[in-house]
């Protein structure tokens, strides 16, 4: 059965999951990822753990996004923030689940993320003397703290506060917005329609 195969991460035919399967999978919190040339349906955390290929972001951008997301909301890296953002950027705008969708950031949103990440890295190199991914948490803290008030300098990209809020929201979605997170925090999930396996 195709759907079962896809959920199990087993090899599919060369065309990958059909649209019905993809839609159904999206409804239970999975995205299509390419792992070693095979399309499989995984959660963002699983996709990261299995080294799924990114569709939109470069490896460098993904590493930077993971580092920034982890600095903002501990746990975001392992939760798969880069794969979560990447999978949603690959979707049509009206199917995106990203907070950026209602922060009035004009599309294309992949350009927004790329520009924000580039600005962050450039600021890190200028202020801290190292790429952001190499900055220690203690060193990065004042740099990040200057983003929301917009006092970070140098900064050449989308508004620093907007970029900070966007990535922080993505990270918070994964770390605090899932059913597992609710359970961890002992907050009753109280679903009307039982939510996806992951969120």
Partner 1 sequence: MTGSHTASAQAPKRTDAVIVGAGAAGNLFAAVLAEAGKSVLVLDPGPAWKAGDLYSSSIWSRRLRWGGPPVESTGANAFGAGFNMGWGTGGAALHHYGTWPRLMPSDFTMKSEFGKGLDWPIGYDDLRPFYDRVQEEVGVSGDAEAEVWRPAGAPYPLPPLQQFAQARLLAKGFHAKGMKTAPSPMAILSQDYKGRPACLYDGWCDAGCPIGALANPLVTYHPRAVKGGARFVNGAHVTQLIPGKTTRQAAGVEYVDSTGTTHTALADIVILAASTVSNPSILLNSKGGDWTNGAGNGSGLVGRYFMTHSIASVYGFFDDEETENYMGVTGAQATNMDHYGKQSLGGGAFGSLQWQLAPTMKPNDLLGVAMARADLFGADLTAFMERAVHHLAVMFGFGEGLPLLENRIELSDRIGPGGMKTPRVVHSFAPESVKVSEMAAQLGLGIIKAGGASEPWAGPMATAHMMGGTIMGNDPSASVTDSFGRSHEIDNLVIAGPGLFPTAGAMNPNFTNHALALRSAEHLVERWLS
Site of interaction with partner 1 (CB under 8 A) = 27, 71-74, 93-99, 101-104, 106-107, 137, 141, 144-145, 148, 165, 168-169, 172-173, 176-177, 181-182, 185-196, 199
Q: CB of residue 97 vs partner 1: minimum separation in angstroms?
A: 5
- What is the residue-wise DSSP string for 77-99? HHHTHHHHHHHHHTS-GGG---G
Nearest to partner 1 of 130, 165 (CB atom):
165
* Token output for 162: 């907007």
Q: Compute CA distances 171 → 28, 168, 176, whole Å.
A: 19, 5, 8
Rounded CA-CA distance 64/68 in Å is: 6
Quick one: 35 or 176, whose CB is closer to partner 1?
Answer: 176
| Cβ 25 to partner 1 shortest distance, Å | 13
Residue with smaller CB distance to partner 1, 35 or 136 = 136
Give the Cα separation of 193 and 149 in Å (integer): 39
State in angstroms the smallest separation of the CB of 114 from partner 1. Answer: 18
| C-alpha torsion sign, points 191, 193, 196, 199 | negative
Is the Cβ of residue 51 or residue 74 nearer to partner 1 in the bound state? 74
| Calpha distance 163→157 (Å, rounded) | 9
Q: How far is the CB of 144 from partner 1 (least distance, A)?
A: 6
* Residue 9: CB minimum distance to partner 1, A: 23
Nearest residue (CB) to partner 1, 5 versus 195: 195
Distance CA 100, CA 107 (A): 9
């Amino acid at each position: 059965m195709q759907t079962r195969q896809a959920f199990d991460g087993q090899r599919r035919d060369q065309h990958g999951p059909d649209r019905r399967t993809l839609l159904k999978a999206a409804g239970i919190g999975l995205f299509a990822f390419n792992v070693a040339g095979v399309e499989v349906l995984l959660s963002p955390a699983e996709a990261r753990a299995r080294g799924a290929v990114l569709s939109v972001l470069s490896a460098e951008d993904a590493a930077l996004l993971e580092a920034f997301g982890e600095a903002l909301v501990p746990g975001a890296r392992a939760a798969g923030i880069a794969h979560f953002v990447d999978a949603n950027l690959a979707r049509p705008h009206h199917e995106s689940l990203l907070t950026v969708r209602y922060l009035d950031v004009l599309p294309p949103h992949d350009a927004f993320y790329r520009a924000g990440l580039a600005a962050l890295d450039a600021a890190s190199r200028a202020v801290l003397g190292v790429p952001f991914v190499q900055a220690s948490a203690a060193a990065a803290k004042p740099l990040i703290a200057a983003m929301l008030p917009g006092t970070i300098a140098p900064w050449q990209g989308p508004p620093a506060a907007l970029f900070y809020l966007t990535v922080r929201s993505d990270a918070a979605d994964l770390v605090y917005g899932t059913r597992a997170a609710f359970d961890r925090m002992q907050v009753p999930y109280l679903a009307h329609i039982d939510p996806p396996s992951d969120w």
